[in-house]
Amino acid sequence: MKQPASEAQHGGPDAAATSEPPTPATTASSTSAARSTEEKGGWRALGLRLDVRNLSLLGVLAALIIVGGITKPDQFLDTNNLQLVLTQASVIGVVTVGMTFVITSGGIDLSVGAIVALASVWATTLATQEYGFAGILFTAVVVGLGCGLVNGLLIAYGGMVPFIATLAMLASARGLALQLTDGKTQIVTVNSVLDLGIPDSYILGIPPLVLVFAAVTVIGWLVLNRTTFGRRTVAVGGNAEAARLAGIDVRRQRLYLYLLSGLCCGIAAFLLIILAGSGQNTNGNLYELDAIAAAIIGGTLLSGGRGTIVGSVLGVLVFTTITNIFALNNLQSDVQQIAKGAIIVAAVLVQRRTLRNGEA
């Protein structure tokens, strides 16, 4: 078991090169290489499960790319199409990074889609647009943080179940978004924002949106794996009572986590504004389901205590690639939905098997 896994660590970065963000495998293998052989064993043992799971997702992604390449060789592998796939993945990807933290802590955030919608319309009102680029970015982020703050306070200090509190936020944020727009699409007229969406702004062929996504992923990975904040998140998700008795301020940690999710929604809303050139109250529809699904198939435990940013990002890429391939092959969205459902079931079954083997 150990040998293929360690090879996978070296194979990982190459295969993931298309998605830009470095995998933890690169960092893990380089740090552990610095240690003595005797000490390396445990590191590998801990990293093993994650690698196997990431590897299987990479396999799925590779298979999808092959399918795409065979069915529509000219269109799928075209640079423009790959840029499109990554751009589409960016918005939901940023949301998924925040969601991964919340789920790792044993919580859930059903309000992400609604927060994206509310932030995108609030940031594109005529009044906000008068303040230009900074006004739009600032408003999107602050609205996201504000919603996250309400979620966090209700859950951490109000003692509400995350499912209920964020469900309530879902309903009210969508309602408020509709009230602000009156159901109308708000066209963005600030050119400095719109410019970020056109090919002229691409850096080395990479759209700025994708760079933001990559940055959020890298920062998210570092925070989850290399900081006290990340460690506390995992501890709270693994055993909240033990974390509390170990002296961790569990409530404050939960508050921060929903704030973080709200922040990610704000950033995602800004990306969506660039992408669509407008703000709409119907934005971010069903993002909560897509983000949860991506995190789960990535290997984050819904019960908390184990989370992987790389897995979540791979999950997002798998879903976005499927959507793209189906669209290129003129298959309807109903078939897409069925395929997504099947993938979620398969991934969770595989996850349960690996987990059970690991516990034995």
Distances from the Cα of 72 to the Cα of 64, 68, 75, 86, angstroms = 12, 6, 6, 18
Nearer to other proteins, 179 or 303 (CB): 303
Closest to other proteins by CB, 39 vs 78, is: 39
Give min distance, CB of 246 to other proteins, in A.
Answer: 5
Helix ranges (DSSP H) in 105-183: 112-122, 126-129, 132-152, 162-181
Helix (H, G, I), strand (E, B) or coil at 248: coil
Phi, psi of 187 (to 5 degrees): -75, 135
Which one, 106 or 266, has the nearer CB to other proteins? 106
Site residues for other proteins per CB under 8 A: 31, 35, 39, 41-43, 45-46, 226-229, 231-232, 234-235, 238-239, 241-249, 305-306, 359
Q: CB of residue 248 vs other proteins: minimum separation in angstroms?
A: 7
- Please check whether residue 83 is in contact with residue 204, taking contact to mean a CB–CB distance below 8 angstroms: no
DSSP code for 186: E
**204 phi, psi to nearest 5 deg:** 50, 40
Instruction: Report in angstroms how near the CB of residue 56 gets to other proteins at its nearest.
Output: 20
Least distance to other proteins from the beta carbon of 179, Å? 38
CA distance 338 to 344: 10
**Closest distance between other proteins and the C-beta of residue 304, in Å?**
9
Nearer to other proteins, 18 or 31 (CB): 31
CB of 300 to other proteins, least distance (A): 12
d(CA 28, CA 32) in angstroms, rounded, equals 6
Q: Which is nearer to other proteins, 19 or 308 (CB)?
A: 308
Query: What type of residue sits at position 127?
Result: A
Of 10 and 252, CB closest to other proteins: 252
Name the β-bridge partners of 278. 187
Which contiguous run of DSSP H or E holds residue 278? strand 278-279
